[in-house]
Amino acid sequence: MTNQYPLWKNLLILCVVIVGALYALPNLYGNDPSLQISPNRDTAVLDKQTETRIADLLANKGIAYKNIETMKQGVLVRFNDVNAQLTAKDLVSDDLGDGYTVALNLYPAAPAWLTALNAAPMYLGLDLRGGVHFLMEVDMNAAMRQSDDRYVGELRTLLRSNKVRYLTIARHKSGGVDVKFRDNTERAKALLLIGKELPRLVREEEDRNNAFYLRVTLSEQEARETKEFALQQNITTLRNRVNELGVAEPIIQRQGLDRIIVQLPGIQDTARAKDILGATATLEYRMADSEHDVEQALQGRVPAGSRLYYERNGSPILLKKDIIITGANIVDAASGIDQQSGSPMVHVTLDSKGAKKMARNTRENVGKPMAVVFIENKVETRKVNGELVKTSRKIEEVISVANIREEFSKRFQTTGLDSFEEARDLALLLRAGALSTPIEIVEERTVGPSLGQDNIDMGFRSVVIGFIFVLLFMAVWYRVFGLVANIALALNLVLLVAVLSMLQATLTLPGIAGIVLTVGMAVDANVLIFERIREEIRNGNTPQASIAAGYDKAFSTIADANITTLIAALVLYGFGTGPIKGFAITLSIGILCSMFTAIVGTRAIINLVYGGRKLEKLAI
């Protein structure tokens, strides 16, 4: 028995080692604090002229930078330190305006030849890089109320179009919609009609206060779908808003039935992040009712087709109930300055459906006043009788009233805003979309960059200390075979880091714990093999036969131990969230890498050292 691998197997192992080393290498170079500038509108262009403009701006302000380069994603500016990066962000954002997104980023400092191979370092999680963590709760009661309000409009339209007479339609305080009829005949018609047109609604006849009522509520399935839709739509909107904030590598995921986790690594202005993520501002465009008297409306006599609103200065105004368009029809928005008045305003671009509605309305109402209503939902938590009670408050105020001079449709501007900051924030919210349901930040955690660096240092030290102790033990206890195991252990760490880098996984503290555990498990396989070789030698087998028997007979035990651990890791990944998933991913990759290095890798080295030779004894 000679214990030699064929040439192709040795070459294959060598290729795996070289590829692993190449893709693990970028982690040694670290990252440069950078600004990534990209256009967020079709009219915004990034070219060499923009690059020169940014370079001149930084040079005039005395801000040192490494280099500026144009990439597929936009213009990238690299800096030597974070302070220069943060100062430059404010300057570049103000100079370029709302047409561009200026994102704080950490861009790999690896040389160009590694970048050409798509080799990049691992991302760092919130606990290592610093940033802010939000746990948000979606107001599901508000989602159900919004659904009931929608059905109030649908039922009113349905009954009117089919000439079914009713007295009132209103949302019931405990949920659902109450339709009041004068007699049972009309109620019976409505019951059949609603059952045919809206079969998913639950219908119940009620007689109270000498009147005939039809109570319409959502079915259990409809209620579940409504809540699920509200949660998913809010996740999408939050993701759009985070993109507008310019945060690199954010984490946005659901937790349970009504909560959302948002992690923003590297973000500095947490107050602005809270305001933007939790805001529910949107706009509604309505025609003003100039035919009726506002004073009578203030006395309680509001016309049937109108509603009473208030302008920001407190003046009452009557507006039509019919909404021309809402924020949902807005596809682009950018803040600016009104050339005539010098006041802040927002340029608005509508989708095709909204543009048709606006064109038809303005064409029919030239010379008449149209109002812009600013709507914001706020969730407040107060103590009532020693208990925390959440209340939802809706703020509606008219920010602009102007006569329609001529027909317009897709593009126009909205004025009447209090400040340029409000105009910028409103433009951002309109671009990202309105939250379908109010949300409340129920938990907030901030991790400073210095604490993140401390976590990195401690995690690195834990890996190094564990690694050194294992190396010393193996070298002393198993001599030459122990040195071979140490080489395989180092290779295992290189392959693990390489795979995580290739997958662009996010490394967190639990992930570092998974690496430390992998170090112990990797050497455990070699301990089993080497002890089996010792046993074979004690039984009188030749050194070459003992090596072969040791690897062959220990394989099933090693496979069983690693497969059961891998199953546990997969279960953790399937049922865990956030950090637990990170630990499970790192552990799973580590197990697979250790199986390769501990069995195939060490066998290849030992074959090169001892294979093909006549041996009297082994240094084990």
Q: Which of 37-46, 138-147, 164-173, 491-500 has the highest mean pLDDT?
A: 491-500
User: What percent of the chain lies above the pLDDT cut of 70?
Assistant: 87
- For residue 103, list its beta bridge partners: 36
The predicted structure's pLDDT at residue 45? 64
The β-bridge relationship of strands 131-138 and 259-265 is: antiparallel
The predicted structure's pLDDT at residue 390? 61
Confidence grade of residue 272 (pLDDT, cut at 50, 70, 90): low
pLDDT single digits (tens) 605-614: 888 888 767 7
| Mean pLDDT of all residues belonging to the chain | 80
Predicted TM-score (pTM) of this structure = 0.61
Helix, strand, coil percentages, rounded to 5, for the chain: 50, 25, 25
Structure-model confidence comparison of residues 44 and 453, the more confident one: 453
109, pLDDT greater than 80 = yes
Least confident of 310-324, 340-354, 384-398, 511-525: 384-398
pLDDT single digits (tens) 488-530: 888 888 899 899 888 877 777 788 888 878 877 778 888 888 8
For residues 61 and 79, what is the distance between their CA atoms, to the nearest angstrom? Answer: 14
276, pLDDT greater than 80 = no
φ/ψ region of 463 (left if φ > 0, alpha if ψ in -120 to 50, else beta) reads alpha
The predicted structure's pLDDT at residue 472? 85
The predicted structure's pLDDT at residue 15? 92
Choose among 515, 506, 505, 514: nearest CA to 452.
506
Structure-model confidence comparison of residues 451 and 250, the more confident one: 250
117, pLDDT greater than 60 = yes
For residues 207 and 444, what is the distance between their CA atoms, to the nearest angstrom? Answer: 49
Domains and CATH numbers, the chain: 7-25+448-610 (1.20.1640.10), 31-109 (3.30.70.260), 141-221 (3.30.70), 279-445 (3.30.1360.200)
Residue 503: HSE in the Cβ half-sphere, 13 Å Cα cutoff: 13
pLDDT single digits (tens) 435-449: 667 777 788 777 665
On whether the CB atoms of residues 66 and 57 are closer than 8 A, the answer is: no
Report the pLDDT averaged over residues 222-227: 85
283, pLDDT greater than 80 = no
pLDDT single digits (tens) 160-206: 888 888 888 888 877 888 888 888 888 888 888 888 888 888 888 88
User: What percent of the chain lies above the pLDDT cut of 90?
Assistant: 2
Structure-model confidence comparison of residues 218 and 391, the more confident one: 218
pLDDT single digits (tens) 353-378: 888 888 988 888 888 888 888 877 66
Structure-model confidence comparison of residues 384 and 515, the more confident one: 515
The predicted structure's pLDDT at residue 434? 61
147, pLDDT greater than 70 = yes
- Contacting residues for 616 by C-beta, under 8 A, at least 6 apart: 543
Q: Which of 214-218, 267-271, 467-471 has the highest mean pLDDT?
A: 214-218
- Contacting residues for 589 by C-beta, under 8 A, at least 6 apart: 496, 499, 500
The predicted structure's pLDDT at residue 19? 92
102, pLDDT greater than 80 = no
The β-bridge relationship of strands 306-310 and 316-326 is: antiparallel
pLDDT single digits (tens) 522-560: 788 888 888 888 888 888 888 888 888 888 888 888 888
- Contacting residues for 268 by C-beta, under 8 A, at least 6 apart: 86, 104
The predicted structure's pLDDT at residue 433? 62
On whether the CB atoms of residues 161 and 197 are closer than 8 A, the answer is: no
The predicted structure's pLDDT at residue 42? 47
Q: Return the residue matching tokens 């009504």.
A: 258
